Amino acid sequence: MTSVSTGGGLTQQLHMRLFDRLDADKYDVLSAKEIEASGSGSGNSVNLVKKLDADGDGKVSRAEMLPTRTFGIETMGSLIAAQSEADRAKISTEIIADLFKRADLDGDGALSVDEMNAEKDLRRAANIDAGFASDTILVPRDENGDGLLTKDEIGVGQRLRIPLKITFFDEMPADVQKEILARRERMGLPPPQPLSEADKAARRAQVEADWAERNSGPAGTMKFLSREIESLREKAAAAYGTGAQLSDSLSQRLIQQIMSERWSTDAKI
């Protein structure tokens, strides 16, 4: 039940929420019996304790539950290196297969709402901790409305990029200006305020700086802007707050990650 030096992060907050869920007697340590009784251990409770119990006392402390490193989105199995490959259909198939391998907890070949939400929560935490997200996005479409997603009901796309060129209202064609004014009037909004040339230059410079910052992450990713990362982190942290109950799917996914080679405390990255 040793102490482990760690930094902060949303992924670590999720680990602490899992600890709270497993710690039924509230003694602030976990035993194999306690983990098994929670239903989250899936028969791996003894192995889980062995993996986390750094000092060999047979129990897991909060510090031992925390990952010693904050992992990036690669840990989620995303295939960001595939962005430059030519065979998009093959890449899409691999990405979806990878998703089902980690997210289809009951192995029924479909993702429930809880399983998909667990994937989103873990991906969001890893993305914000890393400071960037994969350019690849998953597009669910429950075509038959049964509340389950099969492999052919999930598409793979890429994030839209904001164009560098900005056209201000007074630079638009007259018919476009007229349409915009009519739309704003219907919405009860005033006409757009004219900008000075200095203001226009400043806004164009900001867009170019934002573009450069977003593209400064690893290949196949989009970096979060420095001015938005704290807000994203605060919103995610609120969602993981102590008042929220972890779903069964999210708990199982966290156990799954802890048990995997890449999430062990001696992982090679």
Alpha-carbon gap, residue 100 to 228, rounded angstroms = 31
Query: In which band, very low, low, confident or very high, does the pLDDT at 49 lie, cut at 50, 70 and 90?
Result: confident
The identity of residue 256, as a single letter, is Q
pLDDT, mean of residues 190-200:
94
Structure tokens at 19: 């600890």
- Residue with the bigger pLDDT between 87 and 3: it is 87
The pLDDT of residue 88 is 55
Q: What is the pLDDT of residues 10-29, one digit of tens each?
A: 888 888 888 888 888 888 99
Measured in degrees and rounded to the nearest 5, phi and psi for residue 57 equal -90, 5
Helix (H) or strand (E) holding 113: helix 113-130
pLDDT, mean of residues 88-109:
84
Whether residue 122 contacts residue 14, with contact meaning beta carbons closer than 8 Å, is answered with yes
Which domains does the chain possess? 10-65 (1.10.238.10), 73-161+219-263 (no CATH), 169-214 (no CATH)
Q: What is the pLDDT of residues 114-157, one digit of tens each?
A: 999 999 888 888 889 889 888 888 888 888 889 999 999 998 88
Specify the 3-state DSSP secondary structure of 65. helix
Helix 113-130 to helix 226-239 angle (10° resolution) is 140
The pLDDT of residue 68 is 55
Nearest residue to 104 (alpha-carbon basis) of 77, 129, 130, 82: 77
